[in-house]
Amino acid sequence: MKHNVYVMQFDIFKKNVKSTYNTKNIYLIKPFTIHVSNPAHFYMVNLPLQGKKILSTIRELEIDVVFGSNLAVCTIGFEVAKIFGIKKIFDLSDFFPASANAYNPEANKTSANFLFYLAKIITDYNIKKCDLCTTCSIALQEYAMDISLNKYVKQLPNGVDTKIFIPKSPNPNLIHNLELSDNVLVFVGSIESWLDFDIVLDSINILKKEKIDLQLLIIGRSIYSEKKNSLFQKIEKKGLQQQIKFLGYQPYEKLPDFINLGIGGLIPFRTDSLLTKMAFPNKLIEYLSCGKPVFAPPLDELRRVGGKNLFGYTSPESLALQIKKAISTDYDTEEIRRSVLGYDWGLIANKLEGYMHKLIE
């Protein structure tokens, strides 16, 4: 790391699992936080505290660039940066109007529409006010360029640590301890409202009836406990308790061990959401970097990166067929891995550094 990086820690979870990953030259800035269970309310309640911390941080430290990937907090950061003559980068890592609604799944239609358009106003404002807008996907890049045609917009994709995410033989101790079958499908990520597990559960049920042994390993947590409970209820109703295993949150550097247990990685995106249509999820390239094919709906951004290694499905029946294909096929894991070597975090960080130097100069 060539630079000092100061990161605002939102601390949305009361108990944060500490990463053992190297964080040299990276410093967490921790504002006083009022813990609220609802994520949307959390940001609203803590906004003044976060804004105050941003102001003191910029005033006290030698900051050259303010990099924001948020909504109202980012807007405050940009306004403070403007006062001090500091360059501003807005990272459009999601279609924020849709993700803001996803953080408040219990809202009624009127509240959801209000939140969507409020988030869109703030998103568009940040795009217009920043000196550089980076986007993880081409769809988001096109959106940002439509908002401000004269703005400096660059597509900067999500990445993967290719030194850690590598193909390797399944760990026999993990297989034994987790009591896994020969065929395992792996999902890494939070259980959120923009995911469609119904198709996945129905496809597993089809395979179960065909006497094909398959288990789904879910690695991650849910921001919304009721959402996770809803999934549990569906699993219980379909009698798939033996086919689904939940591991909860796992440290980043341990994810490859779990991914390499599987016949492939799962991205069960809904297809009726702007959020998923514009998304470029990290898990896509993490799976591929481990030499695993990816099971996902054939959305444009996923197909563009996954290519022939994306096993697209549109129904429980088509997913079941794709899973059977994966079980019976011997893949060239190194060939799959090579398809995403250009997405190494180091290469992407170098690109971002070049953009920042150009802004400052």
71 and 181 belong to one structural domain = no
Asked if residue 318 belongs to a domain, the reply is: yes
198 and 109 belong to one structural domain = no
The rounded Cα 230 to chain-centroid distance in angstroms is 21
Q: What is the rounded distance in angstroms from the CA atom of residue 245 to the CA atom of residue 183?
A: 13
Asked if residue 103 belongs to a domain, the reply is: yes
Range of the domain at 65: 5-159+344-360
The structural domain count of the chain equals: 2
308 and 354 belong to one structural domain = no
135 and 188 belong to one structural domain = no
Q: What is the CATH number of the domain that holds 300?
A: 3.40.50.2000
155 and 288 belong to one structural domain = no
- Give this prediction's pTM: 0.90
188 and 82 belong to one structural domain = no
Instruction: List the pLDDT tens digit at each of the 361 positions of the chain.
Output: 578 899 888 877 665 555 555 567 888 888 888 888 777 778 788 889 999 999 999 999 989 999 999 889 999 999 999 999 999 999 999 999 888 776 666 677 888 888 899 999 999 999 999 999 999 999 999 999 999 876 789 999 999 999 999 999 999 999 999 999 999 999 999 888 889 999 999 999 999 999 999 999 999 877 554 444 588 889 999 999 999 999 988 988 899 999 999 999 999 999 998 889 999 999 999 999 999 999 999 999 999 999 999 999 999 999 999 999 999 999 999 999 999 999 999 999 999 999 999 998 8
